[in-house]
Each structure stands twice: as structure tokens, then as C-alpha cells.
Amino acid sequence: MTESKPAATNHRLKHEASSFVRNLSLKHKLVAIIMLTCITALALASAVFIAWEWTTLRHTLVQDLSAHGEILADNCKAAITFHDPADASGVLKTAGAIPAIVAAYVYTQDGELFAAYTRQGTPAVLPPPPRELQGRPTFQEGCVTLDRPIVLDGQRIGVIRLKATLAPMYARLERSIVVIVCILLLSSIAAYLISSRLQQIISSPILYLAGVANAISEKQQYTFRVEQSGDDEVGLLMRAFNEMLGQIQRRDARLVEANEQLEARVTERTVELTAANEHLMQEIGFRKQTEQILVQRTERIIDHQRALLRLTKNANSDLPSMMRKTTEEAARTLAVERVGIWFLRDKASELLCEELYSLSLGTRKSGSCLKAVDCPSYFEAIENDRILAIDDIRQDARTESFRRSYLEPLGITSMMVVPIRLHAKLLGVACYEHIGPARRWLPEEQDFAASVSDMIALQVETNERRKLERALANANEHLAESVRDLRRSNKELQDFAYVAAHDLKAPLRGIGTLADWIASDYADQFDEQGRQQLRLLKGRVTRLAELINGILHYSEIGRLASRQETVDLNKLVPEIIALLDPPAHIQVVIDGPLPTLVCEKVRLGQVFHNLIDNAIKYLDKPQGRVEINCTEQGRFWEFAVRDSGPGIEEKYFEKIFQMFQTLAPRDQRESTGIGLPIVKKIVELFGGKVWVESKPGEGATFLFTLPKQEAVIEKETLAVAGRA
Amino acid sequence: MPVLWMVLLFWSYPHRAPADEASDREYKIKAAFVYNFMKFVEGGRFGPADGKARANADPNQTIRVGVLGTAPAKDAFVELTGKLVKDRPVRVYRFKGLAELKDEDGKVPQQHPALEEIRKCHVLFICPSERPCLLRILPDLQRDGILTVGDVPDFLEAGGIINLLVEDKKVRFEINLAAAARAKLQIRSSLLRLAARTVEHDQLERQNDDGKQTGSDKP
């Protein structure tokens, strides 16, 4: 900023100066240019002359001094050679004849001062002896000093030094400058006088031209012409100016003409514009009106929305009270005298009035009835149309049938009927009856009425659903109660079975022991038949004991949950086979690898035990075979125990899994009839199912499934889980 | 070399005996004077002083400096040998003096036996020992363009050109212009200005005049 300020000032000054020069009159400009040129040329010449003078003077001085030095040196040779300082001094004194020389010194070759001369009135300062001979003169303190060697026979034997003052030279230079300045002044004056005269040759025609141009532009009179003075450039300019004036004159005339035309056009246009403006104003008025209508309509819609919102709040109340509020609200919102709700009855054969609200009286009534037989066109219309908006009932055919009987006595002039539909099924209608001058039903009013009808339909549906929900809740409660009872009685039964079985065991053991005693103590007193009967007795006792054990087992399933553990069936199943110790003619084979499961080991063992035991027990062939295998069936493992026994008829497939059911006579096979029920119970407890596939005489296959995802976990997964 | 020479001229031989030393110094200065005289003498065998003539001069032609008689300091002149004058080398020749050439009777010979050799010299320094025989030597040499330099008080009167003398313990010289004119030698004004005395007439001139008169009378 500090730098730019002076720069700006400088610029402004420059600008002012240049504008001043521009505004100067032409003749002054000419004089100034000539003067400037003259003075510059003269000043340059003077400067060069003075410089030349100065150089020449100096050169002359030095040359003179050099010549004197040469002479003096020559004259001093012998004095130095023969060592005569007095003679040398005499020689130097001759230098005093030259006014410029103020001092002269002679030095021997060793640099010693040999002889000296100083002009009177100048201080006799001895300069230091010259070490190196300076060929060029040295200028200092208004003096010039020059050293010349003294040479004798080609040998330098000493140095002469001359010192001269420059004062005379300066004086001469001064005189020259004064003269030159005088010449400069005189030349300038002469140049001014000549140029002020001669500039008129160029400036006067131009000034004349300028004056004329100025007069023309002031008076706007293009009829003036310039008098041509010569045939030079100015003359050319004047001719061109005259031509230009002529053109301007013509153009001016044309311009005036065009201006008049333009004004006429403007007037024309103004009229057009005024008309357009009026049209526009009309349009604006119309638009404003439309806008007002729109605003009213919007307000109405907002009103309707508010009313609907209020109605929505009553959605939880029951149907009659809802209908009451709805009719009242609708009548008030639409400003309709009578609003009624009619429902279809008796397979759409008649319409029954459920609610009818009168706005001016504030009263309600119900019970009126309209039969389809009396007015079929009306029924057909409400069945098919969305809304019946009747602006004037006198011109409508659909209400013709009850116009005289119903509408006209009440003074109804306009009417809107909106069907109430639920899932496209007609439930009834909402009826808006207007009294007074005929009225046009607006689209938004129709929309509102449709919304009201929808709400009523929704309310009807809600009511229906509520009724159903209540019934369902009742049924559920009944069911829960039954389940509770059933569970209780089941539990009691189980407990009873357990307790009974348990309590039966002790007397049974007593009977068995007594039978043994009798057999051993009275063996000799019994005949063969008696002993046979005793054996039978013991057999029955054993069977009963097994039966009781089976029942105990069965009832324990589900009572106590034992530990979940990883069970490798490839180990467990061979152990079970070994425990059963099958007779020699029966071969038990595991076909393929078996999976590893996580479950209650004892119970899973029980399943395999019972199935394999059954297969062995019922095998009646001389050579038998039992096969065990496992396949993957989706989310389940499917196990199969296949025997080559007698097979089972299909009608027994269900029965064999029921308690105490055996197919063979009890006496033939020591069977309790409780093995398969236990299997079924365990498998179902594990989330699987059990069934049998068989044909009589072709053996039987017992199959059961166990779910993979819970009970079956691969060893790897277990390991990973353990680590985590 | 001249610088060294000047230095030697003023400050040498401090160990010598005072008398000897003074004599040595004096003769060294005198030898130097003789050498320098040659630079201020023109004409005759020295040729004109201007540069053209010098350029034409034979650089191999030596400047002969003759020493006649016995110098008090013998070596002072020998040192001049090898120096240059006007680009020509200087050579010093010694000649026995007439005083030394006395015969058994004590008679001095009328003419120097080596006169022709002596006449070839440019400069001839005549030692003080020859003082008695000056009038026998100088007339024979007066027109031969030889610059004769002497060291005795009445040398100029006897027809010598330059005589050296000691004044206020300073070596100075005097010049016989008549003798110089006879020898066709021009002595530079600057040298003349320094001379303690200049003589325009001498004995020989008178003798010659007499001789001329007698000569003219004779035939």
C-alpha cells in the first residue's frame, strides 16, 4: 500500500500532464514541438561540444606537459650522469616559464630526489618517489601529475615528474560554457520567433476547419460548406468534410422522415398493447376467481379431512353409537338436512333404516323400510353404481318410484346415495337428503361421502371380527381346560401304573419263593402232573415279573431325563448284540457304518435292544438272519432292523405298537407285549417316528427315524464346539 | 648493470686501507666518467648522435678504450670491458707509457712504438705518470678523432680534450674546446654546462699556428 500510493499519484500527475498537452491549441502544440526539437538539438550539440572541448583541453595539457617533460629530461641527463644536482635544479627552473607547471622533480634511478622545483606560492610538498613509472597522467586535487623517464643511451637513469594545475583549463572551459549558453538562448528566441510565424501555414486552415465544424455542431446547420484553400492533405480533409456534411444533411432528412413513421407505429402499437392489457386484466380476474374457488374447495377438503379424522377416533366404539356420531358429523360437515344409514335385509329384498339424523331438529329415528319390489330401478342403481349424486330429484328416473310418496312430502330436492360395500358385497347405503333449493353435489363432497361409507363398512367388519374373536377365545379356553384335565388324568394313570407295578412286585416275589419252597420241600409228594403245574406256576410268575418290569420301564420314559452324551452306534450296537447272545442258527449283521449321535445313551440302547430282541425271539426258521443299517433321509437318520422271520399282516401294523399286544400266543413266546410300545415312546420322545414294513412269510422290517440337527452331531463339530 | 655499477661506485671496498681505498674510489669514479663521456661526445669515430647513424653503425665494432701509462688503480678501467656504449661493446687496451719506455740513457723515445695501435682507439686515458711526456704524445694524436682524457692539472694546455680533477672531494672535469674541434668531436652542451672550466685556446693551437706560419714560410 505504501508503495502503490506514490505510484498512483505519479500516474495521476502523468495523466493530468498528458491531458493538458492534449487540450493545448494546435498552434501552441506546433510551436512547442518545434521549440522542443530545436532546444534538444542545440542542447545535445552543446553537450557534445563541451565534452569535446574538455577532452581536447585535457589532451593538449597532457601533451604539452609531456613535451616539456621530454625536454627537461634531456637536459637533466648529464646532471644525473655526472651527479650535479645544482645543474639539474637550474634546468628545472626553466620549467617555471610555463605558467601551468607548479612543480617539477627529478629522481635518480634509486628513487631518491635529485632535484626539485616548486613555484612560489605553492606548498613545497614532496610527493613520494614513484615506485613504478606511470605512463599515464594522474588527475587529482585540481592538478595533473606526469612522470617521464630519463633515458641515456637506452638506459633509464632517472625519472622526472611534472605537476601542472588545471585552473587555466577550467577557466577556459567556463568561458566556453558561458558562450554556448548565450548561443543557446539566442537560438531559442530566434527559433520561437520563426516558428510562431511559420506554424500559421499549417495551423490556420485546420483552425478554420475546426471553427466551422464547431459552429455546425452547435447550430445543427448542415448547410454550411468550407472554402477549400489548397490541394494538400488539409485541402483533402476539407473536401472530405464537405462531402461528409452533404451526407449528414441527406441522412438528417431521412432520419426526420423515419422518425415520423416511427411515431405513427408507436401509436399503433400502443393501441394494440392497451387491448392486450385489458385482455390480460380479464384473464387475471378470471384466474383470481378460479383461485378463490380453489381455496374454498381446499378449505372444504380440509374440513372434510378433519371430520373424517374425528370419526376415525370413534372407531373402537360399537356400531350403533358409531353410526349415530357418523350421521351427525356428516350432516354438519356437508350441511345436509337429513343423513341416514340403511342396511339391506332379507337377502337384499329390502332396505331398513338403521339411523336417520335431522340436522335442524337434532332428532333421530329408525325403522323405515323400502322394498326392492316397489322400486327395482333404485335397487339396481345402488347395486351397480359407486355413487348416486342427484342434483334434482324431479329429473331422475332412479328415485321416481318413491318421489311422490317419500321425497316430495318431506320437501327433499337433491339427494346423494352412497353404497356401503365390504369386500365388493353391498351392505347398505348412506343417504344424504337435501331440503331447500336444489343443490349441486361437488366432487369433494362425493369423495367425503364415499369415505364415510367406507368407514361404516370398516366398522361393520370390525364388529364381525370382534364377535368371531370372542367365540374363538371361548373355544380356546375350553380346549385348554380339556388338555389340563387330560394331562392330570394321564399323570394319575401313570403314577398309578408305577405304584401298582411297584407294589405288585413284592407279593409276586413272595409267590415265586413260595413256589420254589413247595417244589423243593414237597417234591416227592407230587406226581408228574403236580410238578408240571408247579413249573407252569413258576413260568407265569416270571412272566408277570417281566410284565411288571416292562410297565415300570414304560412309565419311567419321560418321567426322568437322563444325561445327554455322545453315542457312537458303531460301538453300542455290537455291545447290545453281544449282550443278547443270539443262538447259533441266527446271524445278526450290521450293514454299513452307523452314525454318532448325542442323546440319552440308555434309552437309545433300549430301542435297539428291544427291536433286535424281538427279531431274534420271533425267528422261526432253521437259519435266520437279522440286518441292521442306517440311511440318511434329509434331516433324519433312518434306521432299519430287518429279520427273515414270519412277517406281520398289515392289519396288525398299528396294533403291535400298543400296550400288551402280541401276535403269538403268550405261552408260545415268553412275551410281555410291552417292548414295541417302549420303542415307540422313546423314538417319539426323541422327535422321530417308528413303523413297520412287512408281508406275511417274507420277514419284517422295523424302521425308525431320529432327527439329525439336534441329536446327531458329527465328531468334528463337537471338537470345534469344545474348543470354542 | 649501471645501477649496480653506481652502487659499487659509492659504497665499495670498506675493508681496504684508507689511502688505498680513497684512491680506488677516485679511480673508479674517474673510469665511470670516462665511460660516460663517450655518451656525450659525437662526431668523428663516435658517429653522429642521431638514431639513424647508430642503427647503421656496426654493432660488432668495438669501442676501444686505451689506457696509457700506469694507473694508480689498475683494475678500475678493466671493469669497463664488456659494457655497451651506443650499442657497441667497450674493450680496454693498455699501453705502456713513454715514461716507462725510457732507454738506458734515460732518454724518452721520440715516438711511441705502438702509435698505430693507439691511433685506433676511440678514447685514450693518459695516466698522471705520463705528465712529463704529454707534449710528445698529444700532438701525434690531435687530429685522429681520439677523445683524450687526462688526469693532470695542465692537461688541457698541453692539448688534451678533457681533464679530470678533484674539487671539494668531488671528481670534476674541464674541457678544451679547441682540442675537441681539432679532433672533429662535438661535445654535448649539457656536458659542457657541467664542466668546471672550458678552455678555448691551448698551447698546441698556438704551436700549430706557429707551425703553419713556419711551414708556409719554409717553402
Q: Three-state DSSP class for A355?
A: strand
Contact B40 A155 (CB under 8 A): no
Contact B2 A81 (CB under 8 A): no
Instruction: Name the nearest CA neighbour of A250 among A225, A224, A227, A222.
Output: A222
Among chain B residues, CA nearest to A84 = B194
Structurally, at CATH architecture level, domain A559-723 sits in 2-Layer Sandwich (3.30)
Topology of the domain covering B2-217: Rossmann fold (3.40.50)
Contacts of A453 (CB under 8 A, 6+ apart): A418, A419, A420, A421, A429, A430
Evaluate if residue A248 carries a pLDDT over 50: yes
Contact B194 A74 (CB under 8 A): no
Mean pLDDT score, A337-347: 88
Rg (CA), chain B: 18
Contact A109 B6 (CB under 8 A): yes
Most confident option among A296-300, A620-624, B13-17, B18-22: A296-300
Among chain B residues, CA nearest to A153 = B86
Predicted pLDDT of residue A313 = 81
Rg (CA), chain A: 74
Cell of A232: 494538400
Task: Point out the residue among A77, A81, A109 whose CB comes nearest to the CB of B3.
Answer: A109
Predicted pLDDT of residue A662 = 64
Q: Are strands B123-126 and B147-150 parallel, antiparallel or unpaired?
A: parallel
Contact B193 A87 (CB under 8 A): yes
Predicted pLDDT of residue B211 = 59
Q: Looking at the complex, does the CB of residue B166 fall below 8 Å from at least one CB of chain A?
A: no
Contacts of B214 (CB under 8 A, 6+ apart): none
Q: Looking at the complex, does the CB of residue B3 fall below 8 Å from at least one CB of chain A?
A: yes
Q: Three-state DSSP class for A148?
A: strand
Residue A299's pLDDT band (cuts 50, 70, 90):
very high
Contact A82 B85 (CB under 8 A): no
The domain ranges of chain A are 29-221, 231-300, 301-470, 559-723
Give the rounded percent of residues in chain A with a pLDDT score beyond 90.
14
Contact B138, B159 (CB under 8 A): yes
Q: What span, in angstroms and rounded, lies between the C-alpha atoms of A328 and A116? A: 150
Size of the A and B interface in Cβ pairs below 8 Å: 36
Query: What Cα–Cα distance (Å) separates residue A501 from each residue in A28, A487, A552, B112, B130?
Result: 153, 21, 7, 199, 196
Q: How far is CA A26 from the centre of its chain?
A: 74
Mean pLDDT score, B199-211: 73
Order across the sheet with A690-694: list the strands. A586-591, A624-633, A636-643, A700-707, A690-694
Query: What distance in Å separates residue A148's CA from the closest CA in chain B?
Result: 18
Query: What Cα–Cα distance (Å) separates residue B170 from each residue in A569, B74, B196?
Result: 157, 21, 11
Predicted pLDDT of residue A477 = 93
Give A84's contacts in chain B (Cβ within 8 Å).
194
Residue A584's pLDDT band (cuts 50, 70, 90):
confident
Query: What distance in Å separates residue A114's CA from the closest CA in chain B?
Result: 15
Give B10's contacts in chain A (Cβ within 8 Å).
none
Task: Point out the residue among A78, A79, A154 whose CB comes nearest to the CB of B188.
Answer: A78
Q: Looking at the complex, does the CB of residue B190 fall below 8 Å from at least one CB of chain A?
A: yes
Q: What per-residue string of b and e applies to A55-83 under the rule 16 or more CB within 10 Å gives b?
A: eebbeebbebbeebbeebbbbbbbbbbbb
Write out pLDDT tens, residues B80-126: 888 888 788 888 888 888 777 776 666 777 777 788 888 888 898 88
Instruction: Name the nearest CA neighbour of A294 among A434, A442, A414.
Output: A442
Evaluate if residue A391 carries a pLDDT over 50: yes
Contact A418, A275 (CB under 8 A): no
Average pLDDT, chain B: 76
Query: What distance in Å separates residue B178's CA from the closest CA in chain A?
Result: 21
Most confident option among A214-228, A275-289, A316-330, A624-638: A275-289
Mean pLDDT score, A580-586: 83
Among chain B residues, CA nearest to A87 = B194
0.80 exceeded by the pTM?
no
What string of DSSP letters covers A74-96?
HHHHHHHHTT-HHHHHHHHHGGG
Q: Is A8 exposed, middle or buried (0-12, 13-18, 19+ CB in 10 A)?
A: exposed
Q: What span, in angstroms and rounded, lies between the C-alpha atoms of A364 and A331? A: 12
Both ends of chain A: CA-CA distance in Å?
77
Contact B194 A75 (CB under 8 A): no
Contact B87 A154 (CB under 8 A): yes
Evaluate if residue A721 carries a pLDDT over 80: no
Q: What span, in angstroms and rounded, lies between the C-alpha atoms of A650 and A386? A: 64
Evaluate if residue A121 carries a pLDDT over 80: no
Q: Looking at the complex, does the CB of residue B194 fall below 8 Å from at least one CB of chain A?
A: yes
Evaluate if residue A268 carries a pLDDT over 90: yes
Cell of A162: 611534472
Evaluate if residue A44 carries a pLDDT over 90: yes
Instruction: Give which of B8, B63, B190 to mutate to test A binding, by max A Cβ within 10 Å.
Output: B190
Evaluate if residue A443 carries a pLDDT over 90: no
More confident residue, A653 or A41: A41
Q: Three-state DSSP class for A278?
A: helix
Instruction: Give which of A83, A107, A150, A152 to mutate to test B binding, by max B Cβ within 10 Å.
Output: A83
Query: What distance in Å separates residue B206's CA from the closest CA in chain A?
Result: 31
Evaluate if residue A312 carries a pLDDT over 70: yes
More confident residue, B12 or A690: A690
Mean pLDDT score, A308-316: 81
Average pLDDT, chain A: 84
Per the listing, cell 345402488 goes with: A382
Write out pLDDT tens, residues A520-538: 888 788 888 888 888 888 8
A641 phi, psi to nearest 5 deg: -120, 110
Query: What Cα–Cα distance (Å) separates residue A5 from each residue in A10, A12, A117, A379?
Result: 9, 11, 64, 100
Mean pLDDT score, A391-404: 83
Write out pLDDT tens, residues A373-386: 888 888 888 888 88
Q: What span, in angstroms and rounded, lies between the C-alpha atoms of A629 and A590? A: 6
Query: Worst-scoring range by mean pLDDT, A13-22, A74-83, B188-197?
Result: A13-22
Mean pLDDT score, A478-504: 84
Q: Is A102 exposed, middle or buried (0-12, 13-18, 19+ CB in 10 A)?
A: buried
Give A81's contacts in chain B (Cβ within 8 Å).
36, 39-40
Task: Please tell me if the domain spanning A29-221 has the same topology as the one spanning A301-470.
Answer: yes
Task: Point out the residue among B3, B40, B87 whose CB comes nearest to the CB of A78.
Answer: B40
Predicted pLDDT of residue A382 = 86
Predicted pLDDT of residue A724 = 39
Q: What span, in angstroms and rounded, lies between the C-alpha atoms of B178 and B200? A: 5
Contact A78 B86 (CB under 8 A): no
Q: What span, in angstroms and rounded, lies between the C-alpha atoms of A639 and A591? A: 11
Contacts of A108 (CB under 8 A, 6+ apart): A80, A114, A157, A158
Q: Which residues of A touch B (CB under 8 A)?
A: 74-75, 77-79, 81-84, 87, 109-110, 152-155, 157
Residue B38's pLDDT band (cuts 50, 70, 90):
confident
Contact B2 A77 (CB under 8 A): no
Predicted pLDDT of residue A478 = 94
Predicted pLDDT of residue A722 = 44
Q: Looking at the complex, does the CB of residue B5 fall below 8 Å from at least one CB of chain A?
A: no
Write out pLDDT tens, residues A129-154: 666 666 778 887 788 888 888 888 77
Predicted pLDDT of residue B3 = 46
Query: What distance in Å separates residue A125's CA from the closest CA in chain B?
Result: 28
> Would you tell me which residues 82-101 of chain B have a C-beta closer than 8 angstroms to some C-beta of chain A?
84-87
Contact A607, A615 (CB under 8 A): no
Q: Is A85 exposed, middle or buried (0-12, 13-18, 19+ CB in 10 A)?
A: middle
Does the domain made of A29-221 have the CATH classification 3.30.450.20? Answer: yes
Among chain A residues, CA nearest to B187 = A78
* CATH, range A301-470: 3.30.450.40
Query: What distance in Å separates residue B39's CA from the closest CA in chain A?
Result: 7
User: Where does residue B32 fall: left (phi above 0), alpha (psi -120 to 50 degrees), or beta otherwise?
Assistant: alpha
Query: What distance in Å separates residue B63's CA from the closest CA in chain A?
Result: 14
Contacts of B141 (CB under 8 A, 6+ apart): B118, B119, B124, B148
The domain ranges of chain B are 2-217
Give the rounded percent of residues in chain B with a pLDDT score beyond 70.
74
Contact A455, A308 (CB under 8 A): yes
Predicted pLDDT of residue A127 = 65
Residue B17's pLDDT band (cuts 50, 70, 90):
very low
Contact A77 B6 (CB under 8 A): no
Mean pLDDT score, B24-47: 83
> DSSP letter at A128?
P
Residue B25's pLDDT band (cuts 50, 70, 90):
confident
